[in-house]
Structure formats: C-alpha cells, structure tokens
Structure 1
Amino acid sequence: MKKIVVVDDEADICFLLKRFLSKNDFIVETAQNGKDGLALIESLSPDLVMTDFRLGDITGTDLLTAIKSKRPNVPVLIITGYSDIKIAVSVMKLGAYDYITKPLFPDEILVTVKKAIADAESSKDEEQEYTTAVSSGQPSENAKPVRKASSRMKAGYVMGQSDVSDNLFRQVDLVAPTNFSVIIYGESGSGKEAIAQEIHNRSKRRDMPFVAMDCGAISKELAGSELFGHEKGSFTGALQTKIGHFEMANGGTLFLDEVSNLSYEIQVALLRVVQERKMRRIGGSKEIDLDVRILVASNEKLLESAKSGKFREDLYYRFNEFTIEVPALRNRKDDLMLFAGAFLETTNVELGKNVSGFSDEVKNDFLTYSWPGNLRELKNVIKRATLLSDGELIEEKSLPFEIVNYKKLKDLDEEPAAPNVSVLAGTIESASDIEDSKPSLKTVANEAEYDMIMQVLRDVNFNKSKAARLLNIDRKTLYNKMKQFDI
C-alpha cells in the first residue's frame, strides 16, 4: 500500500483526508505543523505528501524546499484557497507536483493523488532503466532519459491561430534547424518547456533525447550531481554511479528551466562545459565529450540578473544566441478557447468523461478573466470543471468563484467606496439617499457572497450539510449567513 503524509494545521482537514484516503487503500499519517510534518516524512518515507500552503509555524514554500532537499523524488501536492492561485503557481516552480484548491472534492483529490504517484513511479523506473543500461555500456532501445515528471504539456503543444501565435512559431521555425542556444522568456505556466520541446522536435536532433531540468526545483547541493552526474563513492550518499542530465542529453537537447536559480558555483562549472563541450562526473577523472544543444528559460530577464550580480554575464552571452518571448495567456485571447478545447479533449480521456464543450457564460468568463497562472492554470481549471460537470457542457457552477466573479472583484479593487453608506444584508442605506452613489466595498462583497451561497444551495437542492462542505464552512456559519441574507 502506498504511504501518504498530510500536513495541515486544521484538524478537521487532516481527519477527513485520512479517513477518505484510507478507504481508498492508502496508508495515511497526518501532522498539524511543518516541524512535525518533516519529522513524519523523514521517518515514514512516503510516496506522496499533501500539505496546506498556510501553516502556523512555516510557509508552504519553506516546507516544500525542506521536503525536496530530503526527498527530491517525492511528489508534493499543495492545498490552497483559490485566492492564493498566484502563490500556488509559483510554488509549482519550486518543485510541487500540482495544487488542489479549497473546497476539496473527493473525486478530484483521488484522481490527482493517483496520477502523482503513478508519474513519480514512471519517472523513477525510466531513470533506473537508463542508468543501469548506460552503466553497463549496453543502453537498450527502450531506455529513455528521465523527463521532468511535473510537466503539464505531455499531450503536445497547441499552436494557436492568432497573429501572436503565428509570430511565435515563425521564430521557432527560424531557430529550430540551427544549433543556436536559445533563451526562452515567459511568465510561469505560459508554456516555455513546450516551446523548447517544439524547437527540439523541429530540429535535426529530433530523434535524439530531449531532457528537461527544472533548476528552481533542485537544491544547491544536488544541482551539480543532477547536471553532471557522479561516480560511486564520490561523496557521502553516492551509493552508485549516477548519469547526469548532460550525459542523458548527449546528441540531443538539454532544457534548463528557471536557469537563474542555479548557484554561482554551478554557473561557473556550467560555463566551462558550455565553452569546452567536455565534462567530468563529480568524483570522476575521465572527460566525456558532449554534443548537446542547450535551451534555457526564465521568467526574469537574465541581463538584468547579470547586472545585479545574480547571474554570470559571460554565461548569459553564451546562452543569448537567440531569444524567444512566450506571450502570456491574457495576450492570446483569440487562441484561448482553442487551448480550452484541447485541454478538455485530453481531460475527457484522462477522466473517462464525455463533456462536449462550454456554455456561453463560461466562454465569456474565460475571455474576461486575466489568467495569472496562464496555460497551466487554464488546464487545471478545465480538469476540475470537467470532473464536477454532470452534463454535456461545462457550466458556471463548476468554475472557481474568482473566475465567475472576476469582473465584480476587479471592480472592488479599482473603485473607491462611496461615503456615508452603511450596508445591511446586501442593501445600501445612504444618509443622503443619492441614487447615483457608487456601492461600497462591503456592499459588493456581500452581494458576491450572497450569490455564491445561493448558487451552491441550488446546486445541492438546499441540502445545507453539503452546501457547508462545498463552501468550506461549518453548518452553524452557513445558518448564520442564511439568516443574515434572509434566505
């Protein structure tokens, strides 16, 4: 049976997840703070960790970093409120497998947990097969270099049909046949790795390995071993010879995502390899000739990082033979529904569903929303909505609250509250009784809260227990809200 560690400072969440996952044949242990969670992970050696982003004694970022330094191959699922979507996306760049938003849905949890464990096992098997084959000097046809398990673009990249997409892929077509090193810029989740894969697929190296390494997900201590490999016994814990990413990619393409996160020492070693096209494993004496095309990605400008001293300027100029900017999803609205349809198609296959499309309201919501998490966020939203849908189309009720109410929430941020206005149960009572007064912040918030409660109550036929669970509040709070809004 697979082992799971749940870390959450809410005892109810720990209890419910343990009961649900145990019924689905997992061994589950829980902790209510980061310190106890790390101790549990160290002693239990779990196959998966689920942790809330907001813990009392430690942040989700710090906990994830600590987990990855001790158990780099263990997939980590982040539990977060949808209001923390930007944080969740950034945490994925540090090595989290995926995130799950509250309120928690059992079916979604089970699908994500099983997929995370399966991907981790598949990645481990491929790496072991390849390492064994290369170490024996007899790599088999089936031995493949390990690819980043957290990739969200395994089904391929949808090119798009807009002028923005045409311009992007003109650049890909232009640089792909060359051996130029390429810097790929773009926001988190915009598809930088997928663009790197497309460059490789359209190059003369297409039949050779494409190896991806997320530099932001690997600790400073492990980065050298991951890049260059090591010999057995070269340092404490080096129990066997390890093949590094450069060797795996020999003859093909190496993609370094978030390359600016590499330490200064690793940058020095990387510069030598790039210049001389030779390398040695850590602890080794034999020089290995390399024929590797290097593609790098960053969500910050490397020249600015070089000027600030974070990134070596000479390494920047080695990489900067060609530059590609991947546009954010909010700047590709003409392609958005094309992307959404492609993600829906793959999600239907993954979940065994048969959802045919999106309602007009959902399409409008998608085109209005800003998509801070870009393509990764769009795919996760569609995956969640498909899971929750019970008809032929995805309806608004299956979307997160922040997407459905994006325009209203945006207006809250931009418009000042009207003076001399008091609010009661979503109505305005003004001392001056001016009809054209702008609604106050609290008014719009109450209206949004009322709409959300009513939507959920209707969805569950006014079953208040179910509604409270979906709203992530207790029944007493729900009763108080219903009384406040005169429902």
Structure 2
Amino acid sequence: MKKIVVVDDEADICFLLKRFLSKNDFIVETAQNGKDGLALIESISPDLVMTDFRLGDITGTELLTTIKSKRPNVPVLIITGYSDIKVAVNVMKLGAYDYITKPLFPDEILVTVKKAIADAEASENEDQQYVAPASSDGTADPVKPARKSSLRTKAGYVMGNGEVSDNLFKQVDLVAPTNFSVIIYGESGSGKEAIAQEIHNRSRRKDMPFVAMDCGAISKELAGSELFGHEKGSFTGALQTKIGHFELANGGTLFLDEVSNLSYEIQVALLRVVQERKMRRIGGSKEIDLDVRILVASNERLLDSARSGKFREDLYYRFNEFTIEVPALRNRREDMMLFAGSFLETTNVELGKNVKGFSEEVKNDFLNYSWPGNLRELKNVIKRATLLSDGELIEEKALPFEIVNYKRLKDLDDEPAPATSSGISQLSDNADGDDTKPSLKTVANEAEYDMIMQVLRDVNFNKSKAARLLNIDRKTLYNKMKQFDI
C-alpha cells in the first residue's frame, strides 16, 4: 500500500483526508505543522506528500523547498484556500506536482493523488530501465534520460529536457485546462506561436479550431476585416462576404501574435468583443455570439506599451489573466543539441539527405553563439549547413561567418591587436591614432580575412565553391579578395 503524509494546521482537514484516503487503500499519516511534517516524512519515506500552503510555523513554499531538497522524487500536492493563480505558478515552479483548492472535492483529490503517484513510479522506472537514445551525432548519450513522453509536441515543437524547458511546460500544463487569456512573452523566433498551439492542444478546446494571426504583418486598413470579417459591399473592394478570424476560431482558440502592432481603433473594437463576447462583421447588423479563448504574444512588455500610449491599458488588463515567458535559446543551452538534432532530422527528410550529426567544433560554436534569432535562426542555419554538407557530419566550414567567429569578435575588447599577414593592416581606422588598441573594424576584418582564406584553402581556391560555402555570391567574393589583396 502506498504511503501518504498530510500536513495541515486544521485538524478537521487532516482527519477527513486520512479517513477518505485510507478507505481508498492508502496508508495515511498526518501532522499539523511543518516541523512535525518534515520529521514524519523522514521517518516513513512516503510516496506522496499533501501540504497546506499556509501552516502555523512555516509556509507551504518553505516546506516544499525543504522536501524537494531532501527527497526530490516525492510528488508534493499543495492545498490552498486561496484560489490564486500566482500561488499556483510559484509552487509549480518550485517543483510541486499540482495544487488543490479548498473546498476539497473527493473525486478530484483521488484522481490527482493516483496520477501523481503513478507518474512518480513511471519516472523512477524509466530512470532504472533507461536506454540512452541516440544523440544528434548518432552516438548514445548516457548522461541524461529523456522525458517519459515524446519530446515533440503535437505541433512539432521540441520540448527539451532541461530545467528551463521543464518549467516552461509546467506552466503550459497549468494554464492549458483553463479558459484564461494568456500573454506569451518572448524574443523573436523563440517559439511563441508553438507554445500557444501547445496550450490549445492541451486544453478542452483541442478538437476545435486554432487560428493564428500575425498582427504585425497586416495593414491597419485590413486588420478589422481580418479579425471580424465583413459583409459583401460594406466597403470598396468588398466583393464578397468574408469570415473573420474570430468566427473561424469560434469554440476554439485565437492567437494574436505581436498584438501591440494593432492600431488604436482596432484595439477599441477588440476590447468590446473581448468584454461582450459578441461581434458584428464590418458592414453587418447581426450580432454573432462568440466562445473564443484568446492568447496573445509580444516581444515587448504590453504594460510598458500601455504606459507609453501605444497599447490600451484596459485591453492589457483584459488579456493579463496569465503570463508565460518563453526563454531565449541562449538560456536553454542544455537543450541546444537536442533542438539542433531535431532540426537536422526534419531537414534531412526535406532535402533527401542523410547527414548524421555535428562535428565537435560545430557543437562548440553552437554553444558559444548568442542566437539573437533563437530557434528560428538555429533552424535556418542547420538547413543551410545541411545543404552545403557532403559528409556524415556538419563541419564548421558550412556555418555562417558570424557563428564561427562569434567568440573572437565578442571578446575583442580583451584581445591585443592581431598581427597581420597580408595587406589588412592598412584597413585600421583608429581615430585616436593609438595603435595599441584595435578598432572593431580592424579585428572584424582580420576575422573575415582568416575565414575567407580558410575556405579558399579547403576548396583548393575554387572560387565558386568558396562563395557557396561563405553564403555570398562570386562578385562579393572577388571584391573581398581584392580588398584583402588575396
């Protein structure tokens, strides 16, 4: 029989939970403060802990942190009478399996308890029976077990194995079953739309439409028609009735990417629709009832945009029921090669190639580079490198110049002036005439010269092939060679 420890400062709660769970074949021990709860956990090694968020001596957060530091594999359920989503987010980030709000419902408790214990057992069995999967270079990776479930979401997004990825998808799991509007923040290319798609796929609306609209790619004049639709003849050029994104998403989810780019007039109309859950097509008189969950994304803070007058503050507060931060790729380096391997796999299929992995130099370049374009940039780099690669591994010569030389350029302030082996010294433009400090242009030209020479030697000075590998045209290569006196 599985053992459960219940920690709650209300004796009635402890009694009721012990009675109910004991009838369902669990061994239950209770404590009414955090200190006694920790002692109980140490003595009986439970399979699950249920603790109130507010205890007399310590908070549930402090208790959770202590439990996870000592017994990281034991699932912890937080009981709270404060149905506050911020509390839930915090405890989930700290490692809680789930949270339950008072009043307690027996069926909900039993389902959550059984699922938590089953998931913990499955995870433990997976660690014991783990067979290392092939890494992106075709070799086994014995260090880190993969997730129990597939690393790919239904939308094709690679979830990742790292702690940052775990926290991201815990928040997705937390908010997905609700009808909350969600603001998704993240840099360009970080996968905001994929996260929105995943929230939809894990919600009760998953069998209904998911409709995405890039607000930054639509003109001010067309935005209203795209969102709300229009009737035939409602304006010049309206040759037929158009169904808007809200109607298309009815019953499902509407995702508005870069929502801050919408004009003020459209924001006013959008606020009315969000408040009333009704809309009319442009030029129409019939009101259409809406049941649409709205997810929005932005790479800038909407509250800052509201304070600067770019975005309506009342609309911001309508959307701000929950917030998810999609981390930049540079903050997910532990998953870097997992993402790279996934993109290589799909690119091989797309191009009909069989590149198996990456050289050690390429792996180091990927880990050192800052990836300002995030996952989108990584995907495009791998597509280009796969196209240029003839062997089993992607080599450094197939990567763009800025990735191969990124670390050198980044650290140029700490480097002495490089010795020149060609006519490059004449390119120095130190305004102060201080030859002891290299200018940015000097060092960049040095790195560029070295890269061009390396590629030319690799291809035996075949200029057409060198230009392809450098991702420039022949004319540009000739100009560079003339500039550097090659």
Query: Do the two structures share a fold, i.e. TM-score over 0.5?
Result: yes
Structure-1 separation of matches of 2:478 and 2:420? 26
Where does residue 23 of structure 2 map in the other structure?
A: none
Where does residue 330 of structure 1 map in the other structure?
A: 330
Question: Is the 8 Å Cα contact of residues 426 and 444 (structure 1) preserved in structure 2?
Answer: no
Change (3 A) 1:178 1:477: closer
Where does residue 258 of structure 2 map in the other structure?
A: 258
TM-aligned CA deviation for residue 308 of structure 1: 1.1
Where does residue 455 of structure 2 map in the other structure?
A: 456
- The aligned amino acid for 2:324 is I
Where does residue 447 of structure 1 map in the other structure?
A: 446
Where does residue 392 of structure 1 map in the other structure?
A: 392
- The aligned amino acid for 1:355 is V
- Secondary structure of 1:156's partner? coil
Question: Is the 8 Å Cα contact of residues 155 and 197 (structure 2) preserved in structure 1?
Answer: no
Question: Is the 8 Å Cα contact of residues 231 and 241 (structure 1) preserved in structure 2?
Answer: yes
- The aligned amino acid for 2:328 is A
Where does residue 407 of structure 1 map in the other structure?
A: 407
TM-aligned CA deviation for residue 351 of structure 1: 1.0
TM (norm. structure 1) is 0.62
TM (norm. structure 2) is 0.62
Question: Is the 8 Å Cα contact of residues 348 and 354 (structure 1) preserved in structure 2?
Answer: yes
Question: Is the 8 Å Cα contact of residues 154 and 198 (structure 2) preserved in structure 1?
Answer: no
Where does residue 78 of structure 1 map in the other structure?
A: none
User: Is residue 480 from structure 1 mapped to residue 479 from structure 2 by the alignment?
Assistant: no
Where does residue 369 of structure 2 map in the other structure?
A: 369
Structure-1 separation of matches of 2:354 and 2:219? 42
Structure-1 separation of matches of 2:387 and 2:154? 20
- Superimposed CA distance per residue, residues 155-180 of structure 1 (whole angstroms, 9 cap, x where no aligned partner): 61111111111111111000000000
- For structure 2, which runs of at least 5 residues remain unmatched after alignment? 1-152, 427-435
Where does residue 66 of structure 1 map in the other structure?
A: none
Where does residue 288 of structure 2 map in the other structure?
A: 288
TM-aligned CA deviation for residue 309 of structure 1: 1.0
- Secondary structure of 1:324's partner? strand
- Secondary structure of 1:183's partner? strand
Where does residue 343 of structure 1 map in the other structure?
A: 343
Structure-1 separation of matches of 2:380 and 2:411? 25
Where does residue 270 of structure 1 map in the other structure?
A: 270
Question: Is the 8 Å Cα contact of residues 228 and 244 (structure 2) preserved in structure 1?
Answer: yes
Structure-2 separation of matches of 1:284 and 1:237? 16
TM-aligned CA deviation for residue 465 of structure 1: 4.9
- The aligned amino acid for 2:449 is Y
Change (3 A) 1:478 1:319: closer
Question: Is the 8 Å Cα contact of residues 417 and 439 (structure 1) preserved in structure 2?
Answer: yes
- Secondary structure of 1:256's partner? strand
Question: Is the 8 Å Cα contact of residues 425 and 446 (structure 1) preserved in structure 2?
Answer: no
Question: Is the 8 Å Cα contact of residues 234 and 282 (structure 2) preserved in structure 1?
Answer: yes
- Superimposed CA distance per residue, residues 40-96 of structure 1 (whole angstroms, 9 cap, x where no aligned partner): xxxxxxxxxxxxxxxxxxxxxxxxxxxxxxxxxxxxxxxxxxxxxxxxxxxxxxxxx
- The aligned amino acid for 2:193 is E
- Superimposed CA distance per residue, residues 182-204 of structure 1 (whole angstroms, 9 cap, x where no aligned partner): 00001111100000000000000
Change (3 A) 1:466 1:268: same
- The aligned amino acid for 2:240 is Q
- Superimposed CA distance per residue, residues 104-123 of structure 1 (whole angstroms, 9 cap, x where no aligned partner): xxxxxxxxxxxxxxxxxxxx
Where does residue 135 of structure 1 map in the other structure?
A: none
Question: Is the 8 Å Cα contact of residues 179 and 293 (structure 2) preserved in structure 1?
Answer: yes
Structure-2 separation of matches of 1:383 and 1:155? 20
- Secondary structure of 1:212's partner? strand
- Superimposed CA distance per residue, residues 12-67 of structure 1 (whole angstroms, 9 cap, x where no aligned partner): xxxxxxxxxxxxxxxxxxxxxxxxxxxxxxxxxxxxxxxxxxxxxxxxxxxxxxxx
Structure-1 separation of matches of 2:447 and 2:305? 42
Change (3 A) 1:357 1:300: same
TM-aligned CA deviation for residue 472 of structure 1: 3.5
Structure-2 separation of matches of 1:466 and 1:343? 25
Where does residue 378 of structure 2 map in the other structure?
A: 378
Structure-2 separation of matches of 1:479 and 1:271? 58
TM-aligned CA deviation for residue 463 of structure 1: 1.9
- The aligned amino acid for 1:480 is K
Question: Is the 8 Å Cα contact of residues 361 and 395 (structure 1) preserved in structure 2?
Answer: yes
Question: Is the 8 Å Cα contact of residues 416 and 440 (structure 1) preserved in structure 2?
Answer: no
Q: CA-atom RMSD, angstroms? A: 2.6
Question: Is the 8 Å Cα contact of residues 464 and 474 (structure 2) preserved in structure 1?
Answer: no
Change (3 A) 1:212 1:440: closer
Where does residue 191 of structure 1 map in the other structure?
A: 191
TM-aligned CA deviation for residue 464 of structure 1: 3.5
Question: Is the 8 Å Cα contact of residues 155 and 346 (structure 1) preserved in structure 2?
Answer: no
Where does residue 105 of structure 1 map in the other structure?
A: none
- For structure 1, which runs of at least 5 residues remain unmatched after alignment? 1-152, 429-436
Instruction: Judge which range, 215-224 or 302-311, deviates more.
Output: 302-311
Structure-1 separation of matches of 2:199 and 2:480? 53
Query: Any residues of structure 2 matched to 1:200-349 within 5 Å, and which?
Result: 200-349=200-349
> How many residues are paired up?
323
Structure-1 separation of matches of 2:250 and 2:464? 58
- The aligned amino acid for 1:464 is K
User: Is residue 176 from structure 1 mapped to residue 176 from structure 2 by the alignment?
Assistant: yes
- The aligned amino acid for 1:450 is Y
Structure-2 separation of matches of 1:384 and 1:223? 34
Question: Is the 8 Å Cα contact of residues 230 and 284 (structure 1) preserved in structure 2?
Answer: yes
TM-aligned CA deviation for residue 264 of structure 1: 0.7
- Superimposed CA distance per residue, residues 115-147 of structure 1 (whole angstroms, 9 cap, x where no aligned partner): xxxxxxxxxxxxxxxxxxxxxxxxxxxxxxxxx
Change (3 A) 1:356 1:465: closer
**Bigger Rg over Cα:** 2
Question: Is the 8 Å Cα contact of residues 155 and 194 (structure 2) preserved in structure 1?
Answer: no
Query: Any residues of structure 2 matched to 1:8-157 within 5 Å, and which?
Result: 156-157=156-157
- Superimposed CA distance per residue, residues 290-315 of structure 1 (whole angstroms, 9 cap, x where no aligned partner): 00000000111111111111111111
